[in-house]
């Protein structure tokens, strides 16, 4: 990990603020009542469910805290959080299940 310099940080904050508002405004503000092409909506439907796992997968497989070594407590916690979220449909239940697994195993395995 390295320090983030202020210019880079402010650039990212400004760019994300403008970009995020743009993404939210584009349809409701600019498109108004006009219909949208089906293929576009179809792809937009799967963005979150594709991008978020893609972001997380490497962090689970090669955690930074262990220097990139696969790790039983973290791997198990990830599996439990995902499964609990899938079955319960409740984000909080899933977070607490995952956290309990992580702390439990970190404690047991030392």
Partner 1 sequence: MAFTTSNSMFWKGFRDGAPFIMVAAPFGTLFGVFATEAGLNLVQVMTFTATVFAGAAQFTALQLLLDDTPTLIVLLSALAVNLRVAMYSAALTPYLGAAPLWQRTVAAYFTVDQSYALSVVRFETEPDLTVPQRMAYFFGAVTPLAPAWYLATYLGAVLGTRIPESWALDFALPITFLAMIGPMLRTLPHVIAALVAIVMALLTAGVPFNLGLLIAGTAGMMAGAQAEVVLNRRKAAG
Segment (H or E) for 81: helix 72-88
- List b or e across 13-40, with b for residues whose CB sees 16 or more CB atoms inside 10 angstroms: eeeeeeeeeeeeeeeeeeeeeeeeeeee
- Restricting to residues 69-88, name those near partner 1 by CB under 8 A: 74, 77-78, 81-88
Contact 80, 101 (CB under 8 A): yes
For the bound state, the minimum distance from the C-beta of residue 46 to partner 1, rounded and expressed in Å, comes to 3
Q: Give dist(CA 105, CA 99) in Å, integer.
A: 10
**How far apart are alpha carbons 108 and 93 in whole angstroms?**
22
Among 56, 70, 72, 109, binds partner 1 (CB under 8 A): 56
Q: Which one among 67, 69, 70, 99 touches partner 1, defined by CB under 8 A?
A: 99
- To partner 1, the closest distance from the beta carbon of 69 in angstroms equals 13
Instruction: State which of positions 13-32 bind partner 1 (CB under 8 A).
Output: 13-17, 19-21, 23-29, 31-32
**Residue count at the site for partner 1 (CB under 8 A)?**
77
Instruction: Tell me which of 45, 70, 72, 109 binds partner 1, using CB under 8 A.
Output: 45
Of 51, 74, 79, the closest CA to residue 64 belongs to 74
91 binds partner 1 (CB under 8 A): yes
Closest separation in Å from C-beta 88 to partner 1: 8
């Amino acid at each position: 990990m390295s320090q983030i310099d202020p210019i880079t940080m402010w650039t990212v904050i400004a760019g994300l603020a403008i970009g995020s508002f743009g993404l939210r405004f584009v349809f409701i503000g600019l498109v108004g009542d006009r219909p949208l092409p089906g293929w576009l909506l179809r792809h937009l439907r799967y963005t979150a469910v594709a991008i978020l796992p893609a972001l997380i997968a490497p962090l689970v497989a090669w955690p930074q805290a262990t220097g990139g070594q696969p790790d039983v407590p973290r791997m198990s916690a990830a599996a439990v959080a995902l499964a609990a979220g899938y079955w319960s449909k409740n984000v909080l239940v899933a977070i607490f299940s995952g956290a309990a697994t992580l702390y439990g195993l970190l404690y047991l395995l030392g």
